[in-house]
Chains A and B, each alone.
Chain A
Amino acid sequence: MKLKKYLPALAAAAILAGCAEVPPGAGENPADPWEKMNRQTNAFNYIVDTYTIRPIAKAYIKVVPQGARESVNNVFENMGEPKNALNNALQGKGERTLASVFRFLINTSFGLGGLFDVAGSVGNQPVCKEDFGQTLRVWGVPEGPYVVLPFLGPSTVTDAAGSVVGWYTEPFAYAENDYVKWGWTAADLFNMRAQMMPLTDSLRDAVDPYVMAREGYLAHRTNVQYDGNPPVVLLKDEFEDEDDEKAPVKKESK
């Protein structure tokens, strides 16, 4: 019912986004065969974000002091610990499973419901994040094409499937009261949006924000897949041969 009210605005956003520029050769990247569609969704998200989500998140950052925002973030991080523990266990990572359980117990009790990250600051046990997307990858499910989800942004087919399962591991998904359930979900999303503000603001300054977000997302996912230690693949400098000729002249140093 309520959706009807927003339909015209959404339609307007979709039409505006329809003007998204698609460069020649879009979709040739094997990781992103749906680039043409993704760029449209990306443009749609950009408009929705610019006029609704981002201003609210900005206001939140402006009004609420940093310490309080950190506590809010800690609460949501803490609520993610059961998910971390479950996924660490599903991936056979024993030590990290225990770490997640330990963090949840310590922060929920001594950290006053997760407001303070006691396990991290006093117990020196950093968070060991895992989600269902990662679990699926460990189980051998391929990454699948890159996809930009409406409202939610960069993902891959596998990660998107993982997020759906992941939602059911959030404690507040089981709240009886709908206001509580969706209120928490919305708060979680806005907290995430506020956390990402420096990142999304730097995206706005990118030459091609779409590509920067895609490459960043995929590299980040590979990184977490290897728990921060991905195999190092060094970019080859194909102009090494120029160094010898240029060295005596030194034309380029400016």
Chain B
Amino acid sequence: MMQRREFAAALCAAVLCGSSAFAWAAPDPKGDPEKWILDLSNEMLATIRADAALRSGDAAAVQAFVSRKVMPCVDFVRMTRMAVGPSWRSANPEQRAELQRLFRELLIRVYSGALSMVSNQSVELAPSRVKPEGDDVVVRTLMKQPGKPEMHLDYRVKFVKGEWRIINVNAEGVWIVENYRSQFAPIAASKGNEGLIEALREKIATYNKNKK
């Protein structure tokens, strides 16, 4: 009796270990991260192409697009904290939420102008030298448009809680998170998290005023 129970426990343990080992070995129920990025990019382009309000930079349309299409594909907490730098550690939950909100608003304002440039582009995988492996990889793509030089767009994707999420984007050699970090971190270092929040609010306010 005793023996059988032990055997059952061992079997359970083996199954558990086996399944977790399996999960570790193949961390992509969504499939290949390269395929995911490729499909996602072309789907995004198709969505933008089909939506005139979005292309014209209409604020409500852009917000809806970002909430529905972009946010589910990115790990925005991670992007924000990497952009903020060391002072993130001392930020309280309200400050963290506010930093995320402001970073999102800032990115929307800086990049919504690019929406108007979407026309007949398509995205392909770059002729990469190595196939990305692991749960934190870089997927390299080329955005092509007839008659225009191709554009390198790389995505750093991480396997987070059972899904691939974009955590950084590189356009023509420039990583977005690093670029913002170099602006944010000195402000946060000298004026603290509140100082950074204040600076971001001010920037967004002037932006809104200028666009009116």
Contact with B along A215-254 (1 / 0, CB 8 A): 1100110111000111010110111001000010001111
Distance from A83 Cβ to chain B, minimum over Cβ atoms (Å): 16
Interface pair B149/A212, CB less than 8 Å apart: no
For chain B, what secondary structure do more than half of its interface residues adopt (helix, strand, loop), or is it mixed?
helix
A interface with B by C-beta (< 8 Å): 23-25, 70, 117, 120-121, 126-127, 198, 201-202, 205-208, 211-212, 214-216, 219-220, 222-224, 228-230, 232, 234-235, 237-239, 242, 247, 251-254
Q: List 12 A-B contacts (CB under 8 A).
A: A24-B190, A25-B190, A121-B147, A202-B110, A205-B203, A205-B207, A207-B106, A207-B183, A215-B179, A235-B178, A239-B82, A252-B77
Task: Say which residue of A198, A214, A223, A237 sits within 8 Å of B173 (CB atoms).
Answer: A223
Q: Check if B5 is an interface residue, CB within 8 A of chain A.
A: no
Whether the Cβ atoms of A215 and B174 lie closer than 8 Å is yes
B88 cross-chain contacts in A, Cβ below 8 A: 239
B residues 77-121 near A (Cβ < 8 Å) are 77-78, 81-82, 86, 88-89, 93, 96-97, 100-101, 106, 109-111, 113-114, 117
Q: Are A252 and B149 in contact (CB under 8 A)?
A: no
Please tell me if B184 contacts chain A, counting CB pairs below 8 Å.
yes
Q: Nearest CB to that of A203 among chain B residues?
A: B110
Q: Which residue of B is nearest A116, CB measured?
A: B147
Task: Give CA–CA (A237, B77) in the complex, Å.
Answer: 11
Q: Are A25 and B186 in contact (CB under 8 A)?
A: yes
Q: Which of chain B's residues 111-133 have a Cβ closer than 8 Å to chain A?
A: 111, 113-114, 117, 129
Q: For the complex formed, measure the closest distance between the CB of A26 and the CB atoms of chain B, giving whole angstroms.
A: 9
Minimal Cβ-Cβ distance residue in A for B129: A229
| A78 CA / B182 CA spacing, docked (Å) | 36
Identify 5 new A-B residue pairs, CB closer than 8 A, beyond the known A207-B200, A234-B168, A254-B100. A126-B149, A205-B207, A207-B180, A212-B183, A215-B174
Q: Which residues of A contact B168 (CB under 8 A)?
A: 234-235
Are A201 and B93 in touch, CB under 8 angstroms? no
Contacts of B183 in A (CB 8 A): 206-208, 211-212
In the bound complex, do residue A234 and residue B179 qualify as a contact, i.e. CB atoms below 8 Å apart?
no
Minimum CB–CB distance for A194 against chain B, Å: 15
> In the complex, what residue of chain A is closest to B180 when comparing beta carbons?
A207
Could you give, for residues 139-177 of chain B, a 1 whenever the CB lies within 8 Å of some chain A CB and a 0 otherwise?
A: 000000011011010001000010000011000111101
Max chain A Cβ within 10 angstroms of own Cβ: one of B93, B179, B200: B179
| Cross-chain contact A252 with B93 (CB below 8 angstroms) | yes
- Looking at the complex, which one of B82, B93, B187 makes contact with A235 (CB distance below 8 Å)? B82
Nearest CB in chain B: distance from A227 CB, A: 11
Is B199 among interface residues, defined by CB-CB distance under 8 A?
Answer: yes
Residues of A within 8 A of B89 (CB): 239
CB distance from A78 to the nearest CB of B (A): 13
